[in-house]
Structure 1
Amino acid sequence: MCIEKTPWEQVIDFHGHTCPEIALGYRVAQIAMRELGIKPTPSTELVVTAQTHSCALDAFQILNHATFGRGALKVDENKQHKYLFEYSDTSVRVTITVLPKILEHLVIPENLATRREIQNATLEAIQFILSSEENMFCTIQKDDHQ
């Protein structure tokens, strides 16, 4: 019997493990899809420009079908969790900027002694990122560029 994996499970499989930055990318990717109102497929021309190179980018490759190989995932390194999503066949684009309160949860404290403590802290950070109210998670700027 074949069981279809959820989008979250697909992202984790692709990335190789769970971590707070994967949760951040997953959440940003979902917001972008909703705001653009277009479901990405492997043949659509969604281009994502990230301002930092992080684990979050793996979520964009799975959920938004924006990959490095096709040139649809770009990094303009500024060490900021700010992401621009745009379709080449439309004039609409969305910029999502993750707020500092969320970014505090990306780093797991180094003073944790046991593997269990590290796992618990990681799960708490992921839960915080995935369940934060959207207005506390990010700012969304949607514009129509010509």
Structure 2
Amino acid sequence: MCVEKTPWELVIDFHGHTCPDIALGYRIAQLAQREMGIRPAPDSECLVKAYTQSCALDAIQVLNKATIGRHALIIEETHRYMYQFHFTGTQDIHQFTVSPVVLDHLETLRHPDLSPRERQNKVLEGVQYVLTLEESAFCHYDKIPGQLSKIV
């Protein structure tokens, strides 16, 4: 019997481990799916522009099918946890910016002198924090006019 994996399991399988940044990407990817709704046309695709290169991008690639290989994921490194989503053929960009308070809290969980078990507990604490935080405290959402284009 074959058991279908959950979206979270698919992301973890792709990335290789659980970490707070994967949880960030997972949460952002789900919010984008909710706000963008159904694909407007069969031939439209989701384009994503990320402003930092982090583990979060693996979750976005898996859940939103916006991959680097297809040029549907554009990275402009500014070290900001801001992500823009756009369906080709539409006129809106859905922008999500992770709250600085969230990033600061996750930074407090990183301690180089922890034992492996303590480090693992801090990782799980960070994942739980990201996945359960009230949406309004987690990120800021804007729907702005515009389009993203593939860079080939």
Q: What band does the TM-score fall into relative to the shorter chain?
A: over 0.9
Q: CA deviation at 1:93?
A: 1.6
Name the counterpart of 2:150.
none
Residue identity opposite 1:68 in structure 2 = I
For the 8 Å contact 1:36–1:93, the answer to whether it is kept is: no
Structure 1: runs of 5 or more not aligned: none
Distance 2:44 2:16 in 1: 26
Cα distance 1:83–1:121, how it changes in 2: closer, same or farther (>3 A)?
A: same
- Residue 66 of structure 2 corresponds to residue 76 of structure 1: no
Name the counterpart of 2:135.
134
Instruction: Indicate the percent of aligned positions where both proteins have the same amino acid.
Output: 52
Name the counterpart of 2:102.
102
Q: Secondary structure at the match of 1:142?
A: strand
Moved beyond 3 Å, runs of 4+: 105-108
For the 8 Å contact 1:33–1:39, the answer to whether it is kept is: no
For the 8 Å contact 1:47–1:85, the answer to whether it is kept is: yes
Residue identity opposite 2:127 in structure 1 = I
For the 8 Å contact 1:51–1:79, the answer to whether it is kept is: yes
- Residue 7 of structure 2 corresponds to residue 7 of structure 1: yes
Q: CA deviation at 1:43?
A: 6.1
Q: CA deviation at 1:21?
A: 0.2
Q: Secondary structure at the match of 1:140?
A: strand
* Structure 1 vs Structure 2 CA RMSD: 1.9
Residue identity opposite 2:95 in structure 1 = T
Name the counterpart of 2:52.
52
Residue identity opposite 1:138 in structure 2 = C
Structure 2: runs of 5 or more not aligned: 148-152
After alignment, is 112-121 or 13-22 more displaced?
A: 112-121
Deviations along 1:35-85, one digit per CA (max 9) or x if unpaired, are 111259x96411000000000000111000000000000101100000000
Distance 1:6 1:112 in 2: 34
The TM-score with structure 1 as length reference comes to 0.92
Distance 1:113 1:127 in 2: 19
For the 8 Å contact 1:96–1:140, the answer to whether it is kept is: yes
Q: Secondary structure at the match of 2:96?
A: strand
Distance 1:43 1:57 in 2: 23
Distance 2:56 2:24 in 1: 6
Q: CA deviation at 1:105?
A: 3.8
Name the counterpart of 1:28.
28
